[in-house]
Amino acid sequence: MPIKLYKPTTNGRRGMSGNTFEEITTDKPFKKLTTNRKSSGGRNHAGRTTSRFRGGGHKRRLRMVDFMFAKKDIPSVVQTIEYDPNRSAFIALVLDQDGEHRYVLAHTTMKVGDTIITSENAKPVAGNRLLLSNIPTGLFVHNVELIIGKGAQAVRSAGASALVVSQEGEYTQIKLNSGEVRLVHKKCYGTVGIVSNVDHNQIVIGKAGRSRWMGRRPHNLGTSMNPVDHPHGG
């Protein structure tokens, strides 16, 4: 994914960069798989701030991405590659052989027309989802299940991948991007490939206003607060 550099026409533009979105094939989501996203502004049900420096931002609709992969042995064809404002990775709209549409995370080489499948003994090629015990060592996986039957919980952000290191008894040893090596049960599922949008961490936001569009508010130091608000206040 190439990075687009902006001309320094203003102070805010100087040094700013963005995504070219070359992989994206449509700018409109599949409406039946979207729902309203209510902004909490970092507040809980009592109205108290529990997550600081959140609020505002552009209006978004949630895309209902499938992380459970309950359907087994049913091939799916990729219809579109789409941008998702709620996550760093791109998503793909797939059409199952039984006629149902789903959203799944797109991997780096995914294209419209590709066929993917979730099966215990699927071929270990990019996009296919199979048991960790059936994935050869040395392959990269994402959308990794940590607890049997709970769905994909790990390795889901842009450019993320885990390396299958070895098979040890009932467990598969995987190495995460952080360098951590984890033992995951062999009966858990993983998707072969690397998550799309690998250059996401190279993008320079460039100005404060762009952070506000994303719903991020300014951070202020604890020393500037009152003692009631922060341990450093006063």
User: 1 falls in which pLDDT band (50, 70, 90)?
Assistant: low
Q: Which two tokens stand for residue 49?
A: 């701030």
Segments of the chain assigned E as strands: 3-5, 17-19, 34-36, 61-63, 76-82, 91-96, 101-105, 115-116, 129-131, 140-142, 144-145, 152-154, 162-168, 171-175, 181-185, 189-192
Domain-located, residue 137: yes
Domain-located, residue 233: no
Q: How high is the pLDDT of residue 54? A: 94
At 200, which CATH number?
2.40.50.140
DSSP 208: H
Domain-located, residue 36: yes
Average pLDDT, the chain: 96
Neighbours of 58 (CB within 10 A): 9
- Give the number of domains in the chain: 1
Neighbours of 47 (CB within 10 A): 8
- Domain span at residue 133? 3-218
pLDDT above 90 (res 10): yes
Question: Which of 104, 161, 173, 160 shows the shortest CA–CA distance to 132?
Answer: 173
Domain-located, residue 223: no
User: 138 falls in which pLDDT band (50, 70, 90)?
Assistant: very high
Q: How high is the pLDDT of residue 234? A: 87
pLDDT tens digits along 162-198: 999 999 999 999 999 999 999 999 999 999 999 999 9
**pTM of this prediction?**
0.92
DSSP 43: B
